[in-house]
Structure 1
Amino acid sequence: MSDKTTGGRPGNLPSHTRSFIGRREELGRLERDLDPGVGTDRLVSVVGVGGVGKTRLALRAAGRIEGAYPDGVWLVELSPLHTAGLVGLAVMETLPLSDRSTRPVTEVVAEWAEGKRLLLVLDSCEHVLADCVAFVEKLLPLLPGLHVLVTSREPLGLPGERVLCLDPLPVADDAVALFADRAAGSGFTLDDTNRPAVEAVCRRLDGISLAIELAAVRLGELTLDQLRGLLGARLPSRLDLLSARGGEGPPRHQTLRTAIGWSHELCAPLERLLWARLSVFPGDFCASVADDVCAGGPLPADQIPGLLTRLVEQSIVRRHVADPARYRLLDAVREFGADWLRALGEERTVRLRHRDHYRRLAREGCAEWNTGRQAAWCERVLTEHANLRAAMDCALTEPDGRVALAMAADIGFLWRHCGYLRDAQYCLDQALVNGAPPGPDRIRAVWTRGAVALLQGDLEVAANWAVRCADAAREQGDPVAVVAAKYLRGGQLALSGRLSEAVQVLAGAPRLPVRRDWFGAAQLQVRVALAFAHLLSGDQERARAVAEEVRASSAACGESWAGAFADSLVAQTDLVRGDILAAVANARTALAGHALLHNTVGAAMALDVLAAGVVAAGDGRRAARLLGIGERVWELTGRAQMDSPDLMATRRSHELRVRGEIGDPAYEQAYEEGRTMAYEEGLDYAAHTY
């Protein structure tokens, strides 16, 4: 988890990769509406038919006004969402906020954003409109520094909402200019002789931006007169089955669907089939996954790379802005492809292929989690989050609950270790709601659900799942599962302050060879929890011995998750021994390991230890800054010190020592300097300590 930045500022706006044509009046008006120093509107909606250019206008205006929002402009892409109630979660995952608690999302976002000045851009709200209304309606009154920019086919309908109805481009000026710009790659040059034909094409397409772009790229294979004649003809009869749905909307929506339909008609048969099958991807995807999900029947896997290239050339598929190796479909194009897939009778089949691909991916990730591929798997999980969520949703809607349980166990485990605790909680609760048949999948699901509760600081819930996991492990008779179950009970006792009981439970776990899969990760976490309980009990030597053992096992496996926690625990025993340089070095190593896996809880704990080492070394001002950085990271987790009374008391003792060294005024100044650093900036500062 890290702050996203654009040009060194907080925010995540994508860079502009295409020229922006026309819309001067609308752009100027939107800039004024969004400028907090000029306008008084805090909710602005850009409304119009699909493909008219709402998102592009919104992002251009947001980019131009970015400097007015010191806490960032944040783009929340809602088109991948297919389940109700996830808008708030999508916002939280976009912001530099890795909350691990179970509190309501709006409460967490409101707490983080209090006193900040930021702009949220909620893009493509129409299919989750009710959720957007509920989220914005609750949040805006709580946060005077929050402004919201919406793009949608219809407004939210909230009081005080300023609506910019985006009309199609004026044909004689902006539409013609857009056509000429997008057709330039085919060698086309606009002049007085061809302008009338271009105007006729743009008029036929009602000035809708996406429709014009799709038509313009066809000049590589059609003459302008052919294109004009084609667009003037009747919609082909074999698209009639799709036009019924398009006919329900306004005329300009029908125009867009007709233009997309003509692009579809001009594609080769296998290009059309690939387009339809690609519609199952909710966001972006890579070519190798497209091969696996979309191949079959008349579409051989070895032809997909070439067909994908052709679809990119025709602007049906777009390359991802940040990662050219990944691809995406625009919303309107995806909708058309999904309609065609449904008409072909292939929708369920291809969705199940998508589900099964990500089912295998998650199973492979769990099998290799406790190895040197751990960091690579973490990055893969972050990249494929939207696809994993869609696959999980698909599994939960299928009648075979065993598949959903297995997927929730695997995906939930990966999400738990990669920062998506709320997603993990949701899918596991859904898969386990009606119980589960005995077997390894149930053990993994129950263990992961309890482990999620531990990181969320939800100790009562963790205790409940600990009992269920222990029962399931005994029933299964798997000795490694019995060891894994000890982590839940022992960890819950340690965080509750019942340290002697925690030591008894965790020390009693049988010592078995450490596996390389998810069970091995659980085995290491049992030992980490034991070292933690020894440390809080005051038994420094036992804590160090166990932590050193975990470090050795972690290094042998090549993993980092447990090893980084062990580094932090060793650093704390270094402090007690008075070996300050070792404490600082080990705390920095721990911080690097946690940063590698985007583990905010681990990073926050390591920062607390590092601050203690730095003040012991005599640099109170730097220690105060580190405590400020640590406080910012703890804020991202949602629960300071995981609500552990022992951890809170330890951090308070560090603060008091620093205050005593440099005085309250100097402490407050340095602490605030650290707390206001961006996440990456703060970690970089900490990494260069001594």
Structure 2
Amino acid sequence: MRRATERIEPRARSPAQRTVTIGASGTGAFEHRASGGGSAGREAVTMQHPWDAGDALPEEATSLVGRASEIRAARDALGRARLVTLTGPGGVGKTRVALRVARDLAGTFPDGVQMVELSGLRDGALLAETVAGAMGLRDSMAAPTADLLVECLRDRRFLLVLDTCEHLVADCAAFARRLLDGCSGLRLLVTSRQPLGLAAERVLPVPPLAVTAESGDAVELFVARALEAVPDLPVTATARRRIALLCRRLDGIPLAIELAAVRLRTLPLEGLVRRMDELFWLLGDGPSETPRHQALRTTVGWSHELCAPPERLLWARLSVFAGGFDLAMAERVCADERLDRHAVAVGLAGLVDKSVVHRTGDRYDMLDTLREYGAAWLEAVEPIRPLCERHRDCVAELARRAADAWLTDAEERWVRRLDAERDNVRAALEFCFTVPGEALAGLRLAGALWSTWLCRSRFTEGRYWFDRGLELVTEAVPERADALWRNAYLCTNQGDSPEAFPMAAEALALARRGGDEPAYARALRTLGTAATFVGEHDRAGRCFEEALAVMRERGLRGDLIMLHVLRGFHRARSGEPKTALAECDEALHLLRNAPNEIWIRSWAGYVKALAHWFLDDVEGCAREVRASLAAFRRIDDPVGLTNTFELLGWVFARRRQYAEGAVLLGAASRYPAKVGVPRLGDTALESLHEQLEGQARSALGLDRFTAEHERGMALTLDETVRFACGGA
């Protein structure tokens, strides 16, 4: 093991100047002076056009019955108040009203409408990251994500819908206050079982559906759902009177009505009415419970009673999932000696048939009210921790498979799969970092998720979990060393190298002490990356050289691929562009058995384009950057897209096609707001940008340049890609 010594001042996040000195045999001493927080923390973020977040509103799975007055009231309230909260008990239909209001008002908010569902979020500290991610903003900025959101929405006319906030009321209230204080054109529509408690809040209770003798919205909802369950059901006048009695007994609660309607598959309508009367007499809890709570609880309780014992146990165990799951996950988590895998599969089908679980494609989910009922039942029937451990292990297995797929042809598929499990991932990490004895497992899980966070530019979230784990695991164990260098690398991606140096140095010391050469080499690679981004090219070169020797000796193919691309960027920036091309070609050679890998290939293409630029080979630069642009678009990497748009803007300027260059520079200027660190945080690249933008402005004149620049800012993402590829 190569020896290393470290001298590090205490880690700090304050803006005070500090010195970090790191020594390693063969690498020289790192002495870095900088202001805390990195360049990203000071970068002004601007946004001149709504971003491309796709369809920001979910589809309505079933027809909406009634609610015209509630929708009208909410629309009117949003015209007068900046924060409107729809309140009411579970199952009353708050989400459906909010969704329809958002759809109706979409045309009146020129900068966009976004609905963010929060039921799967259990940690309020990740609220801003969750909202930013839903809006297509990547949390790759070192400054707080809430600040990024404020900067992006500051002058925009935008409607943000936060759905299911009751379990995060204090966090949602603070978040709402922060956004409303900083964004004058923002409107917030919130659904919650209780108000947020802000002075600016307009609270609108969502009442149950109306019931009359033979009609009313409650009756129409029952009829609609009954015909879905039993298409040939005769809906006579007598039937409607019975339905009205039933809906009145259910207090007009939509979820209770829908659960009752599905029972017509096994009971005639008259028998259903009689059975509900019996249930309310047997299961009533007395005067302490409001009628509407009793109605819903009784209906859910009856659905539970109608389940076979294995289905009841499965219902309870499925409550451990945050968000959705598939059959394999349900089997992995819920099966044991009491409930085998076959029973899980059969039980899941039964719960779907009873409308307890909803199926969409190959994924399943439960409404919050039904999940809460299952969770309460679970506490009464068995210990919860073993189930949470199986859930953690299930998520960890998915994360390991995703990590194994990194830099292979399966990479993109697994990145998208982990996207779908984001709520489950967070629940598993929260379990690890709150339950005694689980922190080491949490750091291992975070380490397996690292490559997915990289591919998705979720640097802030990754750092959040690593920071939590490192606070708990302070002993000199391999998990700590691994987490330190991974966390340090995330810092460098946020332009926050001053934070990276001490963490990488500690990882280096722990790896050397433990004789862990792979971890030692990875820590060296991270140190080299941090040095590159602060312009310490000689020191970066020495770190990379030593890491290369270890990785070659140990046959660490994936690590070598990443190292060669990083060395390529370093060589391009330190005056050796031909060597940079060779480094990237070596990385691509190591990838020869993975022709469909996309993430590192796209970055290798960008680095090669940059190398051609510094070789004064404008056409070679255009060729490489155009290929990498298509790859970045495919994997949806806004950091890569930003930098390819920028580089193509330079190409046009060099060709004296200044109008086209201004368009692309305008397009690129949109995206730093989404990625936090423009031009990779490199000050030299920033100088090139200013030089070439100045040339375009001089050639076109201020008015023409401004017009073309604004045209680029107004293009959608796909329009920008087509423009760039068609003209480059």
State TM-score, norm by structure 2: 0.87
In structure 2, what is the Cα distance between the partners aligned to 1:571 and 1:148? 43
Q: Which among 25, 28, 46 is matched to residue 72 of structure 2?
A: 28
Number of residues of Structure 1 aligned to a counterpart in Structure 2:
674
Deviation at 1:140, TM superposition (A): 0.5
The verdict on how the C-alpha distance between 1:27 and 1:510 changes in structure 2, with shifts beyond 3 A counting, is closer
Q: What corresponds to 2:458 in structure 1?
A: 420
SS of the equivalent of 1:509 reads helix
The verdict on how the C-alpha distance between 1:466 and 1:46 changes in structure 2, with shifts beyond 3 A counting, is same
Q: What corresponds to 1:181 in structure 2?
A: 224
Deviations 1:175-212 (A, max 9, x none): 00000000002132422111121011101110000000
In structure 1, what is the Cα distance between the partners aligned to 2:676 and 2:347? 46
Q: Which among 440, 465, 478 is matched to residue 516 of structure 2?
A: 478
Deviates more, 1:301-310 or 1:403-412: 301-310
Q: What corresponds to 1:365 in structure 2?
A: 402
Deviates more, 1:427-436 or 1:329-338: 427-436
Matches within 5 A, 1:508-547: 508-511=546-549, 520-547=557-584
Deviation at 1:234, TM superposition (A): 3.8
In structure 1, what is the Cα distance between the partners aligned to 2:603 and 2:676? 19
The answer on whether the counterparts of 2:568 and 2:579 sit within 8 Å (CA) in structure 1 is: yes
Q: Which among 270, 277, 288 is matched to residue 225 of structure 1?
A: 270
Matches within 5 A, 1:338-487: 338-400=375-437, 401-487=439-525
In structure 1, what is the Cα distance between the partners aligned to 2:80 and 2:722? 38
SS of the equivalent of 2:159 reads strand
The answer on whether the counterparts of 2:50 and 2:111 sit within 8 Å (CA) in structure 1 is: no
Identify unmatched segments of 5+ residues in structure 2.
1-46
The answer on whether the counterparts of 2:310 and 2:343 sit within 8 Å (CA) in structure 1 is: no
In structure 2, what is the Cα distance between the partners aligned to 1:220 and 1:343? 30
Deviations 1:319-348 (A, max 9, x none): 34xxx2212111101101111111111422
The answer on whether the counterparts of 1:132 and 1:156 sit within 8 Å (CA) in structure 2 is: yes
In structure 1, what is the Cα distance between the partners aligned to 2:135 and 2:615? 40
* AA at the equivalent of 1:675: M
The answer on whether the counterparts of 1:614 and 1:620 sit within 8 Å (CA) in structure 2 is: yes
Deviates more, 1:602-611 or 1:377-386: 602-611
The verdict on how the C-alpha distance between 1:481 and 1:90 changes in structure 2, with shifts beyond 3 A counting, is same
* AA at the equivalent of 1:664: L
Deviations 1:433-458 (A, max 9, x none): 14444454333212211111111111
SS of the equivalent of 1:464 reads helix
Matches within 5 A, 1:84-483: 84-172=124-212, 173-185=216-228, 186=230, 187-234=232-279, 250-320=290-360, 324-400=361-437, 401-483=439-521
Deviates more, 1:301-310 or 1:450-459: 301-310
* AA at the equivalent of 1:219: L
* AA at the equivalent of 2:654: A
Deviates more, 1:381-390 or 1:307-316: 307-316
* AA at the equivalent of 2:260: A
Deviations 1:625-653 (A, max 9, x none): 22122222222012222432122112223
The verdict on how the C-alpha distance between 1:390 and 1:520 changes in structure 2, with shifts beyond 3 A counting, is farther
The answer on whether the counterparts of 1:486 and 1:526 sit within 8 Å (CA) in structure 2 is: no
In structure 1, what is the Cα distance between the partners aligned to 2:509 and 2:525? 14
Deviation at 1:114, TM superposition (A): 1.6
In structure 1, what is the Cα distance between the partners aligned to 2:142 and 2:674? 13
In structure 2, what is the Cα distance between the partners aligned to 1:680 and 1:476? 49
The verdict on how the C-alpha distance between 1:180 and 1:272 changes in structure 2, with shifts beyond 3 A counting, is same
Deviation at 1:467, TM superposition (A): 0.3
Deviation at 1:365, TM superposition (A): 1.9
Q: What corresponds to 2:618 in structure 1?
A: 580
The answer on whether the counterparts of 1:286 and 1:326 sit within 8 Å (CA) in structure 2 is: yes
Matches within 5 A, 1:64-79: 64-79=104-119
Q: Which among 647, 650, 674 is matched to residue 685 of structure 2?
A: 647
In structure 2, what is the Cα distance between the partners aligned to 1:109 and 1:669? 26
Between 1 and 2, higher relative CO (CA 8 Å, sep ≥ 6) is seen in 2
Alignment root-mean-square deviation, CA: 2.6
In structure 2, what is the Cα distance between the partners aligned to 1:179 and 1:77? 26
In structure 1, what is the Cα distance between the partners aligned to 2:608 and 2:647? 10
Deviation at 1:8, TM superposition (A): 8.6
Aligned pair 1:498/2:536, yes or no?
A: yes
The verdict on how the C-alpha distance between 1:158 and 1:439 changes in structure 2, with shifts beyond 3 A counting, is closer
In structure 2, what is the Cα distance between the partners aligned to 1:347 and 1:59? 34
In structure 2, what is the Cα distance between the partners aligned to 1:6 and 1:278? 38
The verdict on how the C-alpha distance between 1:546 and 1:350 changes in structure 2, with shifts beyond 3 A counting, is same
The verdict on how the C-alpha distance between 1:688 and 1:364 changes in structure 2, with shifts beyond 3 A counting, is same
* AA at the equivalent of 1:159: A
The verdict on how the C-alpha distance between 1:235 and 1:194 changes in structure 2, with shifts beyond 3 A counting, is closer
The answer on whether the counterparts of 2:102 and 2:113 sit within 8 Å (CA) in structure 1 is: yes
Deviations 1:519-576 (A, max 9, x none): 6444333322222222222222222222222232234455433322221121123234
Deviates more, 1:48-57 or 1:553-562: 553-562
Q: What corresponds to 1:683 in structure 2?
A: 721
The verdict on how the C-alpha distance between 1:627 and 1:541 changes in structure 2, with shifts beyond 3 A counting, is same
Q: What corresponds to 1:488 in structure 2?
A: 526
The verdict on how the C-alpha distance between 1:124 and 1:333 changes in structure 2, with shifts beyond 3 A counting, is same
In structure 2, what is the Cα distance between the partners aligned to 1:652 and 1:365? 40
SS of the equivalent of 1:316 reads coil
Q: What corresponds to 1:551 in structure 2?
A: 588
Identify unmatched segments of 5+ residues in structure 1.
none
Deviates more, 1:205-214 or 1:114-123: 114-123
The verdict on how the C-alpha distance between 1:9 and 1:138 changes in structure 2, with shifts beyond 3 A counting, is closer
Deviations 1:469-509 (A, max 9, x none): 21122223333333212221111111112222222322333
SS of the equivalent of 2:671 reads helix
SS of the equivalent of 1:233 reads helix
In structure 2, what is the Cα distance between the partners aligned to 1:664 and 1:636? 26
Deviation at 1:414, TM superposition (A): 2.7
Deviates more, 1:365-374 or 1:196-205: 365-374
In structure 1, what is the Cα distance between the partners aligned to 2:295 and 2:80? 36
* AA at the equivalent of 2:264: L
Deviation at 1:512, TM superposition (A): 5.7
* AA at the equivalent of 1:540: P
In structure 2, what is the Cα distance between the partners aligned to 1:385 and 1:633? 24
SS of the equivalent of 2:670 reads helix
Q: What corresponds to 1:15 in structure 2?
A: 59
